[in-house]
Amino acid sequence: MDALFDILGSANFWAAAIRIATPLIFGVLGALICERAGVLNLGIEGIFVAGAMAGWLAVYLGAGLWGGVLVAALAGALFGLLHAFLTVILGLSQHVSGIGITLLATSVSYFTYRTALPDVTSPPRIAAFQPLNIPGLSDLPFIGPALFQQTPLTFLALVFVVLVALVLYRTPLGLAIRAVGDNPASVEAQGLSVVGLRVGAVVAGSALMALGGAFLTMSAFDAFFFGMVNGRGWICIALVVFASWQPGKALLGALLFGAFDAFQIRLQAQIGQVVPGQVFLMLPYLLSIVALILVARRADYPRALLQPWTKGQRH
């Protein structure tokens, strides 16, 4: 019990929880935008890898850090465009296309990395984002190190939560996006383009996912490793269901997940002698599965999710 309070009482733990949550916030928001428009994007895992690789490589080749972020987002948008072409314009299976995008984005990233850096034995490093020092807030006792000593990308993620929520619920565009995932016929009746809205949502969502990857190589670490994404994308797909497709709950889900992950890492340091390390590493995946099972029955899926749309279609 003392161990529990020691962990929860350290600023370091809360800072880690937010750090671990950051790529998931980007990923869940991205997946949420795609699914709200009616398109499941299983390309997320590969788009994470592409964002991580492209952002890192751009910085390594001399672009600034924010230039790297832009390159990562563009890489994500490009794979999103391909997914949108296959699933929205051609109306093909969203499952198969998503898996294909994941395989393609992953192999393109690995191939590019190997080709650009054929001779390296240890991954080269870049000067990654450093924690911001916010005057007044970062120096507060406990609260400062716990909440306000994060890198700019973490704050960007939080800005996006607000932005996505505002757009989805307070603008005509958001209304159209939500409608296109629920009842595309009503959108067409308004004279709006179902295909255009869906393509736009998938491209924008994929760009956000790629930022989650970029956070890994440009903020959490300062290098690119093979296998570093390690299922984070799939976890985001589970978290979207858990968050009932709402940005606020998505933030909450990602933070809960981050707190849990940070907690298990610290617990591992304390009782790791008794329990094998792999048990702790399994917990995040098992937690995602359990979360999915708990909410599945009540989940309010966008009603047109997975359903392709052809112009002038009648039901």
Joined tokens for residue 108: 């393109």
Spatial separation of the C-alpha atoms in residues 215 and 129, rounded to whole Å:
9
| Exposure letters 209-221 (e unless 16+ CB within 10 A, then b) | bbbbbbbbbbbbb
For other proteins, give the closer residue by CB, 91 or 196: 91
Q: Nearest to residue 54, comparing CAs of 117, 124, 114, 109?
A: 109
Q: Is residue 39 part of the contact set for other proteins (CB under 8 A)?
A: no
Q: Is residue 281 part of the contact set for other proteins (CB under 8 A)?
A: yes
Q: Is residue 238 part of the contact set for other proteins (CB under 8 A)?
A: yes
DSSP symbol at 286: H
Spatial separation of the C-alpha atoms in residues 165 and 254, rounded to whole Å:
15
Q: Is residue 278 part of the contact set for other proteins (CB under 8 A)?
A: yes
For other proteins, give the closer residue by CB, 10 or 230: 230
Q: Of 13, 63, 66, 110, which lies in the binding site for other proteins, with binding defined by CB under 8 A?
A: 110
Burial class (CB in 10 A: 0-12, 13-18, 19+), 194: buried
Which parts of 247-276 interact with other proteins (CB under 8 A)?
Answer: 276
Q: Is residue 118 part of the contact set for other proteins (CB under 8 A)?
A: yes
Spatial separation of the C-alpha atoms in residues 217 and 96, rounded to whole Å:
28
Q: Of 104, 167, 175, 223, which lies in the binding site for other proteins, with binding defined by CB under 8 A?
A: 104
Q: Is residue 93 part of the contact set for other proteins (CB under 8 A)?
A: yes
Site string for other proteins, 45-84 (x = CB under 8 A): -------------------------------------x--
Residue 220 and residue 55 in contact, taking contact as beta carbons nearer than 8 Å: no
Q: How far is the CB of 284 from other proteins (least distance, A)?
A: 9
For other proteins, give the closer residue by CB, 120 or 163: 120
Burial class (CB in 10 A: 0-12, 13-18, 19+), 171: exposed
Window contacting other proteins (CB under 8 A); options: 61-69, 96-104, 146-154, 180-188 = 96-104
Q: Of 51, 68, 100, 212, which lies in the binding site for other proteins, with binding defined by CB under 8 A?
A: 100
Spatial separation of the C-alpha atoms in residues 19 and 24, rounded to whole Å:
10
Helices 247-271 and 152-170, interaxial angle, to 10°? 150
Give the footprint of other proteins on this chain (CB under 8 A).
42, 82, 86, 90-93, 95-97, 99-101, 103-104, 106-108, 110-111, 114-115, 118, 230-231, 234-235, 237-238, 241, 276, 278-279, 281-282, 285-286, 288-289, 292-293, 296-297, 299
